[in-house]
């Protein structure tokens, strides 16, 4: 059986035994059914180019047996030598304790990069969501968390307000059929426009949306849990007339 030397590391001993038998990396790889790169990495103690240590120790044992070295001793030396290949000259000192390099799992860095991008995208989307509205026909959505003014001015009767009393998706279109808003209103949020603007409203839950003219509450735009499409928002619309407007089932532009 070939001998291992104290002044070399196990990778060099394996390479020397291989060369003595006239074998190439390819010969060993073919005999052990491994990649030739793994044989080279074992000889250079390059743990970064090898799979997990459990597999590698099996490769080292088989490699050593193939070239006439003691498999168990080769495994023992590989674990010792590959821990600190740049400090092999210190390994026999009585107080030397090898420091192992922390090796992150494969794919860890790309996974964390993707996660970081997802967090940044979610933050950006949450802080930049906006509502598009036609100029001169509507007023911005209210913010339910904003402090109320100490002396609110009563709204004039020609200001129409739709208010969400429960979360519901809504869509408002102008007189030309262009989408002004299309989003979910949370409880307490409102949307306002002027009378005569001929805006139409679609909603997933008619009972969740209440219509106001100025300060007067006209009532819900529909039944609880019933969706509708294309209802006019107009100051002349009162409760009986709301009931007379036919409901059109929503089939398009509805969130999933």
Please, what sign has the CA dihedral across residues 110, 115, 120, 121? positive
- pLDDT at position 117 is 72
Single out the residue in 90, 106, 122 at which a domain terminates.
90
| Contacts (Cβ under 8 Å, ≥6 apart) of 44 | 11, 85
What integer pLDDT is reported at residue 134 of this predicted model? Answer: 39
Report pLDDT for 147. 66
Query: Is residue 251 one of the residues assigned to a domain?
Result: no
- Give dist(CA 249, CA 204) in Å, integer: 9
Residue-wise pLDDT for 56-95, tens only, equals 999 999 999 999 999 999 999 999 998 754 444 444 444 4
pLDDT at 99 > cutoff 70: no
Cα angle 159, 163, 164 (rounded to 5 degrees) comes to 165
Q: For the chain, how many structural domains are there in total?
A: 2
Maximum average pLDDT range among 107-111, 112-116, 154-158:
154-158
Over residues 52-56, mean pLDDT = 91
Q: Is residue 104 in a domain?
A: no
Q: Which of 90, 111, 129 is the last residue of a domain?
A: 90
Asked if residue 127 belongs to a domain, the reply is no
Residue 253 counted as domain residue: no
Distance between CA 167 and CA 225 in Å, rounded? 11
Final residue of a domain: which of 90, 106, 126?
A: 90
- Which DSSP string corresponds to 104-120? PPTTHHHHHHHHHHHHH
- pLDDT score, position 125: 62
Residue 204: name the closest of 187, 221, 180, 179 by CA.
221
- Higher-pLDDT residue of 110 and 57 is 57
pTM metric for this prediction:
0.37
Per-residue pLDDT tens over the stretch 175-234: 889 999 999 999 999 999 888 888 899 999 989 999 998 888 988 988 999 999 988 987
The answer as to whether 118 is a domain residue is: no
Q: How confident is the model at residue 239 (pLDDT cuts 50, 70, 90)?
A: very low
Q: What is the mean pLDDT of the chain?
A: 78
Q: Which position has the higher pLDDT, 142 or 54?
A: 54
3-class secondary-structure state, position 161: strand
Phi and psi, residue 224, nearest 5°: -60, 130
Q: Give the residue among 170, 185, 180, 186 at the shortest CA–CA distance from 222.
A: 170
**Residue for token pair 């808003």:** 181
Confidence category of residue 115, pLDDT binned at 50, 70, 90 = confident
pLDDT at 164: 95
The pLDDT score that the predictor gives to residue 88 is 46
The confidence score (pLDDT) of residue 235 equals 54
CA distance 146 to 112: 36
Give a yes or no: residue 66 inside a domain.
yes
Considering the domain architecture, whether residues 239 and 161 belong to the same structural domain is answered as yes
State mean pLDDT over 93-111. Answer: 56
In this structure, is residue 43 part of a structural domain? yes
Q: What is the dihedral of CA 115, 120, 121, 122, to 10 degrees?
A: 90
Q: Residue 96: what pLDDT?
A: 45
Domain that holds residue 212: 138-142+155-244
How far apart (Å, rounded) are the C-alpha atoms in residues 19 and 104? Answer: 34
What CATH number has the domain bearing residue 30? 1.10.260.40
Helices (H), the chain: 10-20, 25-32, 36-43, 53-66, 71-83, 108-128, 239-244
Question: Is 163 among the domain residues?
Answer: yes
């Amino acid at each position: 059986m070939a001998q291992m030397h104290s002044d070399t590391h196990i990778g060099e001993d394996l390479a020397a035994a291989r060369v003595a038998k006239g074998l190439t990396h390819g010969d060993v790889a073919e005999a052990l059914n491994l990649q030739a790169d793994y044989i080279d990495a074992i000889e250079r103690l390059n743990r970064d180019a090898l799979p997990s240590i459990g597999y590698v120790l099996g490769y080292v044992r088989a490699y050593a047996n193939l070239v006439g070295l003691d498999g168990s001793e080769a495994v023992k030396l590989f674990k010792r030598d590959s821990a600190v290949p740049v400090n092999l000259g210190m390994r026999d000192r009585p107080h030397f304790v090898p420091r192992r390099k922390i090796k992150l799992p494969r794919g860890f860095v790309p996974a964390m990069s993707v996660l970081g991008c997802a967090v940044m995208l979610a933050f950006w989307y949450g802080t930049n969501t906006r509502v598009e509205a036609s100029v001169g026909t509507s007023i911005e959505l209210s913010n339910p968390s904003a402090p109320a003014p100490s002396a609110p001015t009563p709204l004039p009767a020609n200001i129409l307000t739709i208010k969400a009393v429960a979360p519901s998706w809504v869509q408002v279109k102008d007189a030309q059929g262009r989408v002004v808003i299309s989003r979910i209103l949370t409880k307490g949020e409102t949307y306002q426009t002027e009378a005569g603007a001929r805006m139409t409203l679609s909603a997933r839950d008619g009972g969740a949306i209440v219509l106001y003219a100025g300060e007067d509450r006209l009532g819900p735009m529909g039944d609880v849990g019933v969706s509708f499409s294309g209802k006019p928002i107009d100051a002349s619309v009162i409760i009986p007339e709301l009931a007379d407007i036919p409901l059109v089932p929503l089939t398009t532009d509805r969130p999933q």
